[in-house]
Structures are given as C-alpha cells and as structure tokens.
Chain A
Amino acid sequence: MSPLLSWLLAFALGCLTLAMMLALARMIIGPRAEDRVLAFDCLYVNTMLVILSLGLIYRSSSYFEAALLIALFGFVGSTAMSKFLLRGELIE
C-alpha cells in the first residue's frame, strides 16, 4: 500500500471516529427521545462507514459482510424505535 493511500485512509478513519463521537454526544445530551433516535441513526451509519474503511485498510472482504449486517439491523432498530415513538407499541 502506498504511503498516500495509507495516510488518506487513516485520515478517513479519524474523521469517521470523530463523527461517531459527535453523534454519541447528541445521543447523550439529546433533549427528547426523537433526538436520540436520530443520533442512533447517524451513529450506525458512521459505524458502517468505519467498518468499510477498515476493510479498505486490511484488504479483507469479511468487513463487507459486517457492514451489510450493520446497515440491515440498524435500519430495523431505527424503524422499530420510530414506530414505538409514534404508537407507544410495536406490534398492533
């Protein structure tokens, strides 16, 4: 791996980690429940991007499946929480 690529990938990883911390801060201080769900949505997308860039760094294709699973279950969890906020129950 060339030094330029490793430097740029380290930069991307640092940016995404900072983004995760910002979303986590909103999840902690969020005044209402919908703010926390929005922060969770942002957080799982950032986590998925971190895992994609880890797959670029270590050149392994196992990270792709992990990222796909995180995208899948993050959507399920986020939808379930929004639905719970809307109705007060999940299964009607």
Chain B
Amino acid sequence: MSASTPPWVDALTGLLAATGALAALIGSFGVLRLRSFFQRVHAPTLGTTLGTWCLTLATVVQVSFEHGQLYVHALLISVFIALTGPVTTLLLMRAAVFRGRLRGMEIPVPTVDDPPAE
C-alpha cells in the first residue's frame, strides 16, 4: 500500500501514538522513581490504560483509512489489557501485603465503619 491516506489521518495517527508513548514513559518513570512499593504500584496504570488505548486507536485509524473500511481488531488488545491489568495489580498488592506482614512491616488493617451483619 502506498501513502494514500489524507494528511489529517497521518497527523491524528502520529499524535495518538506519541501521546500513548509519552503516557507509557511517564508510567515507567514513576515505577523507577517512586519510593515505596505501595506508591510504585500505581504508576504503570498510566501505560496500561492511556498508552494502550491511544496506540490501539492510532492503529485502528491508520488501518481503517488505509483499507477504506472499518477495522477494529486492534481494540481487542486494549479490551484485554483493561480486563487483565487490575487482576494482576490486585494479586500483586495482596502478595506484597502478605510478604510485608511476614517481614513485620506495619501495614494497617482495613477498617470497616458499619458493624458486622449478625
């Protein structure tokens, strides 16, 4: 395929890709820079949500205008990442809390405001 896409499609694709890449870079910088694990676990969310959505939308725009027909297959990746990212983060945080308590770290027990149901 030659370069048959209009210029504004190229600009939109490039801007989406650059935005997503910048979000992923900021998230990875947070992983390296933040001090404790429970602060660091928040940072990659940027890359997994904004970065993945922007780059898959860029792919959808580019491929659709290249073939003259709507192709949304790239959104499968972002839907999959949106489903699996919180699961991984939750499991990892539970493992970190468990291992921190084993090491004797001061981890506060979650407080419940309402009384138990019985």
Which residues on A are within 8 Å of B, measured CB to CB? 1-2, 4-5, 7-9, 11-13, 15-16, 18-20, 22-23, 25-26, 32-35, 37-39, 41-42, 45-46, 48-49, 52-53, 55-56, 59, 61, 64, 67-68, 71-72, 75, 78-79, 82-83, 85-86
Q: Which residues of B contact A (CB under 8 A)?
A: 1, 3, 7, 10-11, 13-15, 17-18, 20-22, 24-25, 27-29, 31-32, 37, 40-41, 43-44, 47-48, 51-52, 55-56, 58-59, 62-63, 66, 73-74, 76-77, 80-81, 84, 87-89, 91-92, 94-96, 98-99
Cα separation A85 to B66 with both chains bound (whole Å) = 46
Cβ of A25 and Cβ of B41 under 8 Å apart? no
Contact B77 A48 (CB under 8 A): yes
Binding site of A, secondary structure by majority: helix, strand, loop or mixed? helix
Pick the contact of A68: B17, B40, B76 (CB < 8 A). Answer: B76
Central interface residue in A5, A46, A78, by most chain B CB within 10 Å:
A5
Whether the Cβ atoms of B87 and A45 lie closer than 8 Å is: no
Shortest beta-carbon distance, A79 to chain B, in Å?
Answer: 6
Instruction: Please name all residues of chain B whose beta carbon is closer than 8 Å to the beta carbon of A83 when the two chains form the complex.
Output: 91, 95
- CB neighbours (8 Å) of A71 from chain B are 77, 80-81, 84
Contact: A22 with B92, CB < 8 Å? no
Assess the B28–A2 pair: CB atoms within 8 A: no
